[in-house]
Amino acid sequence: MHLTTNDRTDTSNTLFQHVKRPDWGLATMVWRVDDKLAFQFQDGQLRIFKSRFDAMLRPVDRPVDERDRVLAELGKVSDRRDAARRIAGQHRPIDPREQIAYFSTRFPKGFQGAKWARTHRGIDARKPLKRHRQPVIEAAAELLAPERLRAHVDGDLSLIIIDRLRTLTDSTDLVTKAAARGLDRVDAVAGARLVGALADLLTDDRDVAPAFDAWVMALTRALDRTPSWELATSIPALARPDRFTAVKRSTFTRAAAWLAPNLTIDAFPAGQVYQRMLDMISTLTRLLAEAGLRPRDRLDVYDFVQLTLSPKAVEQIAASRHADTVERAAA
């Protein structure tokens, strides 16, 4: 059964399952527009597929009582999503002012307050957690000092840096284990290129794009696969949080919807796109300063983005928009 846009089959009472991802649970189709189809899955995610991939969604049969229970469950989730979409004002992106308001309710004293320092920076923490930035920044400053990297470019010496780099990435939530996979299998030749490319990136204060592309290429050769945004950006961000930002593609895409509406963040890292994201973070840093907030570095700004553009935050901001609309209507 292919669900093309010309298909007139009634799918309102049909349950589907993704052929390769049964762990997502059952799904119902909630809309189709042009060549795109959206399915609500039991794991809570709304996923959009192009029609040429609709064969991956196969209809499944369940007894009537079970089918109706699942459809009701999925319908409630879809209704909440539709309501949030309407409340948000026809997909209007989240305004940084809304982010700042949300942030301020949770951290009234901002980045310089004790709560932020304790929760996110881990300053004076007895036992550092993966979300704490200060301990890992300090470790990166020692390990990834450019002069140290230059001294370890040749041969097996580079593998000393790579091994400690694995420990560094494992100590932070900026990088998942999956993203760092392969660092333990880097050979001396690829390791030398990798350490050299990182040293060049950290010391080249001109246009970031060429040095970043060289770093991504060195990572690709070392890992034998294209690295994720989080791995490619988190390492330089820890080494120089004044200059670089870590990137989580999902939340940065939401941030770009307002701050850089013509920016498309593809799945794989690229220098020109990263340069534009650095410019975007510079704009956001300026807006934060104008609001009286003073981040220590770009990792503070990164954590601000993660906090204020998380699914929970977006839902609460949408609810706040709705309350404002109701209040204005009643006035």
Mean pLDDT of 197-217: 93
34-57 tens-digit pLDDT: 677 888 999 988 888 887 777 889
Residue 325 pLDDT: 61
Q: Do both 105 and 204 map to the same domain?
A: yes
Q: Do both 30 and 172 map to the same domain?
A: no
Q: Output DSSP code: residue 228.
A: P
Tell which of 45, 70, 87 closes a domain.
Answer: 87
Q: Do both 36 and 145 map to the same domain?
A: no
Q: Is the pLDDT of residue 88 over 60?
A: no
Least confident of 36-45, 82-91, 202-211: 82-91
Q: Do both 168 and 270 map to the same domain?
A: yes
d(CA 274, CA 236): 12
Query: Domain for residue 4, yes or no?
Result: no
Residue 249 pLDDT: 95
- Give 33's strand partners: 36
Token representation of residue 196: 């050299």
Q: Do both 254 and 137 map to the same domain?
A: yes
- Give 15's strand partners: 60
Q: Do both 219 and 109 map to the same domain?
A: yes
Residue 24 pLDDT: 94
DSSP string, 273-317: HHHHHHHHHHHHHHHHHHTT---SSHHHHHHHHHHHTSHHHHHHH
136-166 tens-digit pLDDT: 999 999 999 999 999 998 878 999 999 999 9
DSSP string, 50-99: EGGGGGGEEEE---HHHHHHHHHHHHHHHHHHHHHHHHTTTTPPPPHHHH
Mean pLDDT of 227-232: 97
Query: Domain for residue 209, yes or no?
Result: yes
Dihedral sign, CA of 312, 313, 314, 316? positive
Look at 79 and 20; give whichever has higher pLDDT: 20
Residue 326 pLDDT: 56
Answer whether 219's CB lies under 8 Å from 261's CB.
Answer: no
Residue 328 pLDDT: 59
DSSP H helices in 117-239 = 134-143, 146-151, 157-170, 177-180, 188-203, 208-223, 229-239
Answer whether 304's CB lies under 8 Å from 103's CB.
Answer: yes
- Which residues contact residue 323 at a Cβ distance below 8 angstroms, ignoring those fewer than 6 apart? none
Residue 260 pLDDT: 92
Banded pLDDT at 4 (limits 50, 70, 90)? very low
Q: Is the pLDDT of residue 327 over 90?
A: no
Look at 4 and 246; give whichever has higher pLDDT: 246
Query: Domain for residue 245, yes or no?
Result: yes
Residue 319 pLDDT: 82
Q: Do both 36 and 166 map to the same domain?
A: no
Banded pLDDT at 3 (limits 50, 70, 90)? very low
Mean pLDDT of 80-101: 69
Least confident of 85-89, 196-200, 218-222, 290-294: 85-89
Identify which of 122-126, 154-158, 209-213 has the greatest average pLDDT: 209-213
Query: Domain for residue 2, yes or no?
Result: no
Domain of residue 39 covers 15-87
160-183 tens-digit pLDDT: 999 999 999 999 999 999 999 999
Displacement of CA 257 from its chain's centroid (Å): 14
Q: Is the pLDDT of residue 1 over 50?
A: no
Q: Is the pLDDT of residue 127 over 60?
A: yes
- The residue among 91, 136, 110, 132 whose CA lies nearest residue 321 is 91
Tell which of 87, 121, 137 closes a domain.
Answer: 87
Query: Domain for residue 266, yes or no?
Result: yes
Report the share of the chain in percent with pLDDT over 70: 89
- For the chain, the residue count is 331
- The number of folded domains in the chain is 2
Q: Is the pLDDT of residue 9 over 50?
A: no
- Quote the mean pLDDT of the chain: 88
Residue 12 pLDDT: 72
Residue type, 225: R
**Coil, strand or helix at 36:** strand
